[in-house]
């Protein structure tokens, strides 16, 4: 099929009179295309640069220790992100362990135990569909199920559980890839030594797949840290001037604080929003950096 494409092309090229001018014309077109494709690629990079420059130049002057110690306020000078920062940390403290356990368990089941039955195929189809559901729909689910039905209220727990459902598909896919990359020979060796299935998973598969699983989890968590819409749905937009002290407390998170500031008409609050974005981006970049570092470090140890 593909070979045919190549052959068709060659006959077309032959039919054309290949004289000097047409070759240079084709070469010229190729050069022009190179330039256009390069520009397309660079446009993304340039936009990233402009975006980061815009945010930093707008918000830089508001970054001070006070910005981290103060709660949100009507007075820009006394505004800060203390409640939002702690709220984000609390939500992550609920989400991270839950997604890790559920995601890895599902991945182990699908990769190591599930037979090719209609049910396991159905679970897989289902997971890839869940990954494409808009985050705001998860927010509607969280509002209905956790806030109302289970009567958790607009709490850290409700937010954390909603986020767990949202990022679970990402964690499952990443963990499955990591587990699938474990060489079969290692598993056979372990089974041949008399280890049971679970012992093999515990002692051979998981340690080998761990760096990949960890990276996938950290990246999914960093996605959750930046999510705004689902938490607006479960009612985390209200004005909060305290840090949560239990999972049943009301909360706000960094992206929502940023959103509240962006929604204000005064220019000065937009600068505060930019300062909040700097903190958020720095946090995400650190997490991604840790993920990359851990992956490299563990990989070196194992090989």
Partner 1 sequence: MSQATKSTEPVIRGSRFQRKPTWRNRIEAMIPKFLFLLASLSVLTTIGIIFTLLLETAAFFQEVSLIHFITEKEWTALFSGDQQKFGILPLVTGTLLVTVIAALVAIPLGMGSAIFLSEYAPESLRRILKPLLEILAGIPTIVYGFFALTFVTPFLRNFIPDLGIFNALSASIVVGVMIIPMIASLSEDAMTAVPKGIREAAYALGATRLETAIRVVVPAAFSGIIASIVLAISRAIGETMIVTIAAGATPNLTFNPTETIQTMTAYIVQAARGDISFGTIEYKSIYAVGMTLFLFTFVMNLLAQWITSRFKEEYE
Stretch that binds partner 1, among 63-71, 104-112, 152-160, 205-213 (CB under 8 A): 104-112
- Tell me how far apart the alpha carbons of residues 233 and 2 are, in angstroms, rounded to a whole number: 49
SS3 250: strand
Cβ(231)–Cβ(162) below 8 Å: yes
Minimum Å distance from CB 245 to partner 1? Answer: 26
- First CA to last CA across the chain, in angstroms? 40
Q: What are the two backbone dihedrals, phi and then psi, of residue 266, each rounded to the nearest 5 degrees?
A: -70, 140
Residue 284 touches partner 1, criterion: CB under 8 A: yes
Of the pair 156, 291, the CB lying nearest partner 1 is at 291
Residue 233 touches partner 1, criterion: CB under 8 A: yes
Residue with tokens 């699983």: 213
Of the pair 39, 186, the CB lying nearest partner 1 is at 39
Minimum Å distance from CB 272 to partner 1? Answer: 11
Residue 115 touches partner 1, criterion: CB under 8 A: yes
- Pick from 93, 229, 290, 294: which binds partner 1 (CB under 8 A)? 229
Cβ(293)–Cβ(215) below 8 Å: no
Site for partner 1 in 175-194 (CB under 8 A): none
- Pick from 169, 211, 216, 244: which binds partner 1 (CB under 8 A)? 169
Stretch that binds partner 1, among 6-14, 88-96, 179-187, 240-248 (CB under 8 A): 6-14
Number of shown-chain residues binding partner 1 (CB under 8 A): 97
- Long-range Cβ contact pairs of 92-95 (< 8 A, separation 24 or more): 92/160, 92/221, 92/224, 92/225, 93/160, 94/156, 94/157, 94/159, 94/160, 94/161, 94/163, 94/164, 94/247, 95/160, 95/163, 95/164, 95/167, 95/221, 95/224
Structural element, H or E, at residue 292: helix 267-302
Interface characters, 66-95, with partner 1 (x: CB under 8 A):
------------------------------
Of the pair 20, 301, the CB lying nearest partner 1 is at 20
Residue 170 touches partner 1, criterion: CB under 8 A: no
Of the pair 2, 301, the CB lying nearest partner 1 is at 2
HEC string of 173-230? HHHHHHHHCCCHHHHHHHHHCCCCHHHHHHHHHHHHHHHHHHHHHHHHHHHHHHCCHH
Site for partner 1 in 254-283 (CB under 8 A): 255, 258-259, 262-263, 270, 273-274, 277, 280-281
Of the pair 156, 170, the CB lying nearest partner 1 is at 170
């Amino acid at each position: 099929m593909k070979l045919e494409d190549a052959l068709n092309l060659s006959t077309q090229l032959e039919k054309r009179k290949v004289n000097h001018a047409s070759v240079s014309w084709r070469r010229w077109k190729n050069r022009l295309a190179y330039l256009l494709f390069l520009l397309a690629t660079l446009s993304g990079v340039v936009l990233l640069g402009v975006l980061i420059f815009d945010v930093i130049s707008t918000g830089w002057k508001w970054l001070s220790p006070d910005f981290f110690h103060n709660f949100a306020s009507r007075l820009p000078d006394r505004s800060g992100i203390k409640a939002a920062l702690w709220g984000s940390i609390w939500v992550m403290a609920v989400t991270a362990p839950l997604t890790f356990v559920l995601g890895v368990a599902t991945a182990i089941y699908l990769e190591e135990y599930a037979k090719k039955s209609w049910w396991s195929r159905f679970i897989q189809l289902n997971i890839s569909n869940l990954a494409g559901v808009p985050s705001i729909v998860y927010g509607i689910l969280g509002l209905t199920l956790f806030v109302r039905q289970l009567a958790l209220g607009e709490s850290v727990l409700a937010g954390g559980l909603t986020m767990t459902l949202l990022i679970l598909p990402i964690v499952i896919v990443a963990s499955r890839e990591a587990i699938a990359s474990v060489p079969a020979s290692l598993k056979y060796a372990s089974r041949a030594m008399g280890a049971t299935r679970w012992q093999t998973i515990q002692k051979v598969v998981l340690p080998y797949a761990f760096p990949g699983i960890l990276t996938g989890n950290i990246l999914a968590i960093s996605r959750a840290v930046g999510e705004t819409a689902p938490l607006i749905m479960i009612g985390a937009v209200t004005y909060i001037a305290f840090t949560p002290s239990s999972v049943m407390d009301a909360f706000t998170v960094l992206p929502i604080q940023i959103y509240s500031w962006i929604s204000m008409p005064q220019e000065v609050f937009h600068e505060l929003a930019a300062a909040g974005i700097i903190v958020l981006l720095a946090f995400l970049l650190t997490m991604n950096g840790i993920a990359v570092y851990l992956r490299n470090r563990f990989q070196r140890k194992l090989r």
